[in-house]
Chains A and B, each alone.
Chain A
Amino acid sequence: MIIEIGHFALILAFCIAVCQATVPLVGAARRNAGWMAVGRSAALAQFPLVAIAMAALIHAYVTSDFSVLNVVQNSHTDKPLLYKITGVWGNHEGSMLLWVFMLALCGAAVALFSDNLPPALRARVLAVQGMIGVGFLAFILLTSNPFLRIADPPDNGNGLNPILQDPGLAFHPPFLYLGYVGFSVSFAFAVAALIEGRVDAAWARWVRPWALASWCALTVGIALGSWWAYYTLGWGGWWFWDPVENASFMPWLVGTALIHSAIVVEKRDALKSWTVLLAIITFSLSLVGTFLVRSGVLTSVHAFAVDPARGMFILLLLVVAIGGSLTLYAVRAPALQGGGLFAPISREGALVLNNVLLATGAATVLLGTLYPLFLDVVGGDKLTVGPPYFNKTFVPLMVPVLLALAVGPLLAWKRGDLLGALQRLWVAFAAAILVALLALYLSGETRVLPVLGLGLATWTATGALVEWADRIKLFRLGASETWRRARNLPRAAYGMTIAHLGFAISVAGIAASAYAVEALGVVPVGGSLPLAGYTLTLEKTERLNGPNYLADEGTVVFRRDGAVVTTLHPQRRFFPLQQQTTSQTSIRSSLIADLYVTLGDPDEQGGWTVRAYYKPMVSWIWLGGLVMAFGGVVSLSDRRWRVGVASRARFAARAQTAAGD
């Protein structure tokens, strides 16, 4: 019964989405306030309905209702409760439901927090959101229904892929989807602005918090996913340039460009049509990613069950959503007049450079991801161009990004003083050289790339701090005056500094990961393995019974100069249901380095394959991601986003335009 309620709620949500997509649009065109108001009510009604559907499916999983096909295919009574819940989105149908849930959440949030928007713009934004909802709800209901029943319920289900039975599944997909889908709001704003034919500072002011919030969620989602891959896949990697990773990385790159270019629209009334295009492309790339993952046209570790009908349906959605919005762009964007002019060397110029580099980066990733697909059409299939391609193309693009990142915020709007900015950055330059030399000395190696990476990270981080110190006149005015300035500095400025620091932290972690040391050996119980100055001893192994698996747990003691540093317990888990083995790594993390150990197969003589890594600063990669997202949140808490400010700004902007005419 509950399942039918969920199914019914989803159908109802679809019907309401149809209303939301049409009525407010007509209302906005005819200036009919009542019709426009339908958008808000529809968006607010849609969210609880999709939430009911989600709850119904979760209920079926928790109670192991094996009359539901989706539960049979993906669950099992022996599965721990956490994985019964998270297993809901560990499969295609359930994850699409999560996708729509996030979409409805965003729609409701727009409806709630848009009192300061002009009614017509709000109606159009919500209508575009409604259209996206119509597409994806229809997709679920027609091709990927999680609420299908089966006639003869089996005694038990097929269980969940053991690799997904990890707490990471509870956090990674929800954040990632919130990020993906959150960009639908900036997309809706862009399309609404194109329909209205007007983009101004106030528009940028409205769209930016939404883009920023989605960007934060996506950043956290990607960082968590990378961390999860690191500790779960057991070969110590943290990024594989897998199509699905790329699918999340491309919107992130373009989204990063978007939150930067929107600043220019807001402050200087320039780069309008470019910003609108970025908003469209960011969400389009989220959609393309969805297509690539779920149509089965590319191979990936994340592949879902494949059904050509689904692929065709999503492709149709892509054509309508992306093709439609880009056509609208082609028709309307030429009319968007750019406002402020600026010299190449200026804050605007630096942000344009940032945009060009990030967009090029996204294009490179897109090409590398789709290259196999282009061949596919010629007749081949399923190849990966792999890290060699991305390391040669994408990584060099990040060098100028880092170089410019420290300089940009020090340049003035309109016309900047490059020499002056560079002079103020001498500390950053000195620090970068110092760190690079230190890296050379400590590693005793002469590889260029990691040294370059660490130097650039230091340059960026110190540069961000220099800019902050500059603003509060640190050491130049009295302590009390500096303190007053520090307190009065807008949160947005702090947000920028923190986010840039976070980026530098990630880059440092990535660069330092080149210094990882690996040890691999077949070790008998009591035997040892050397690793980067440590000695690992496999003290014992024992057989444990998990809730739905058997495990061999090793006790590995790390010693340095005879003294015990840490004891780790890697496991090798066997899931009898799926006949699959996974390795549960055991890691001691610290800011200096991770000690990482996995237990492999035993051999006939009683030895165990032990793989261990010494990974310097690897946790900085994800820490940096979290710091970046935190910077975004700090910026979001800036008081200028709060109620009333934006509408006043729009009023002022209009008054200004009127005066200009």
Chain B
Amino acid sequence: MLRKLFYLVPVVAFCALAGYFALALRPDRDPHELPSVLIDKPGPEFALPSLNGGDRVTSDGLKGHVVVVNFFASWCVPCREEHPMLMRLAEKEHVPLYGISYKDNAEDSRRVLQLLGDPYRRIALDRDGRTGFDYGVYGVPETFVLDKNGRIRKRFVGPLAADTVQNELLPLLQELNKS
């Protein structure tokens, strides 16, 4: 009997998988937003080496302005998809973007930015993913909005889509800059 149950394992495993697939297809799912337990809490502190030399990039250094922090990596395909949007935000909307190169070689990150263009004011190197861990980053890309006091106000998981930027990110930045 037990032996027979053993043969059920594949089909049961598949059912679980199919269940996930079905949930993933749910049309009402808002795919770009993942609530962070850190919302409205001070962002984790960090002091990371800068990709382009100079002083360390620190969490304290970001305070005083509303900033957008973007975790990226050269090995990440969705980041490439997101990249034109970041360039647009930096050039057209003048959004203060700070990059954190997540679990990546400095050399590789630099190469990608040289190839595609660099939208960031400064870039920090999170070689071992420590800061990403503190921020609760699952993978890349992820984007955080920090207010003037360095509190996390919003988290975007995955590439920033045009409508998310238009309807959520830009209005939020405007509102935060007013206060």
Contact = CB atoms under 8 A, between A and B. Distances in A.
Interface of A: 234-235, 240, 242, 273, 277, 280-281, 284, 288, 291, 295, 297, 299-301, 308, 311-312, 315, 318-319, 322-323, 326-327, 329-330, 333-334, 370, 372-388, 518, 520, 600, 609, 611
A297 B159 contact: no
Contacts of A295: 21, 24-25
Contacts of A370: 17, 20
Contacts of A301: 77, 80
Contacts of B14: 284, 322-323, 326
B32 interface: yes
A295 B25 CA distance: 8
Contacts of A388: 75, 103
A381 B22 contact: no
Nearest to B103: A388
Contacts of B11: 323, 326-327, 329-330
A372 B31 CA distance: 12
Given A319-B18, A386-B76, A520 B34 contact: no
Interface residues of B, number: 45
Counting from the closest, the 4 A-B pairs by CB-CB distance are A383-B139, A382-B158, A326-B11, A381-B31
Nearest to B74: A235
A389 to B, nearest CB: 9
Contacts of B30: 379
B60 interface: no
A374 B139 CA distance: 13
B10 A383 contact: no
B140 A318 contact: no
A291 B159 CA distance: 21
Interface string B106-130: 0100011011000000000000000
Contacts of A297: 21, 24-25
Contacts of A385: 139
B94 interface: no
Interface string B148-179: 00000000011100000000000000000000
A323 B141 CA distance: 34
B25 A387 contact: no
A334 B77 contact: no
Given A308-B25, A329-B7, A329-B10, A383 B20 contact: no
Given A295-B25, A308-B27, A329-B10, A384 B20 contact: no
Contacts of A299: 77-78, 81, 158-159
Contacts, number: 131
Given A327-B11, A330-B7, A388-B103, A380 B138 contact: yes
A374 B80 CA distance: 22
**A234, A330, A378, A383 — most chain B CB neighbours (10 Å):** A383
Nearest to B80: A301
A381 B27 CA distance: 13
Contacts of B4: 330, 334
B91 interface: no
28 contacts: A234-B115, A240-B77, A284-B14, A297-B25, A299-B78, A299-B81, A299-B158, A319-B18, A323-B18, A326-B11, A326-B14, A329-B10, A372-B139, A373-B20, A376-B29, A376-B31, A378-B34, A380-B31, A381-B32, A381-B157, A382-B157, A384-B140, A385-B139, A386-B139, A388-B103, A520-B111, A520-B114, A609-B114
B111 A235 contact: yes
Contact of A318 (B8, B21, B27): B21
Given A318-B18, A383-B138, A611-B115, 6 more contacts: A326-B14, A334-B3, A379-B34, A381-B32, A383-B158, A609-B114
B29 A235 contact: no
A334 B139 contact: no
A300 B76 CA distance: 10
A323 B22 CA distance: 14
Contacts of B115: 234-235, 600, 609, 611
**B21, B115, B139, B141 — most chain A CB neighbours (10 Å):** B21
B33 interface: yes
A311 B20 contact: no
Contacts of B159: 299, 382
Contacts of B141: 383
Nearest to A280: B10
Interface in B1-51: 3-4, 7-8, 10-11, 14-15, 17-18, 20-25, 27, 29-35
A370 to B, nearest CB: 7
A372 B157 CA distance: 11
A374 B77 contact: no
B100 interface: no
B23 A377 contact: yes
A386 B32 CA distance: 19
Contacts of A383: 78, 138-142, 157-158
A300 B27 CA distance: 20
Nearest to B27: A308
B7 A273 contact: yes
B73 interface: yes
Contacts of A300: 77
A379 B33 CA distance: 7
Contacts of B139: 372, 375, 383-386
**A299, A372, A382, A609 — most chain B CB neighbours (10 Å):** A382
Contact of A382 (B33, B75, B78, B107): B78
A378 B141 CA distance: 17
Contacts of A387: 75
Contacts of A381: 31-32, 34, 157-158
Contacts of A386: 73, 75-76, 103, 139-140
Nearest to A288: B17
Nearest to B31: A381
B9 to A, nearest CB: 8
A384 B114 contact: no
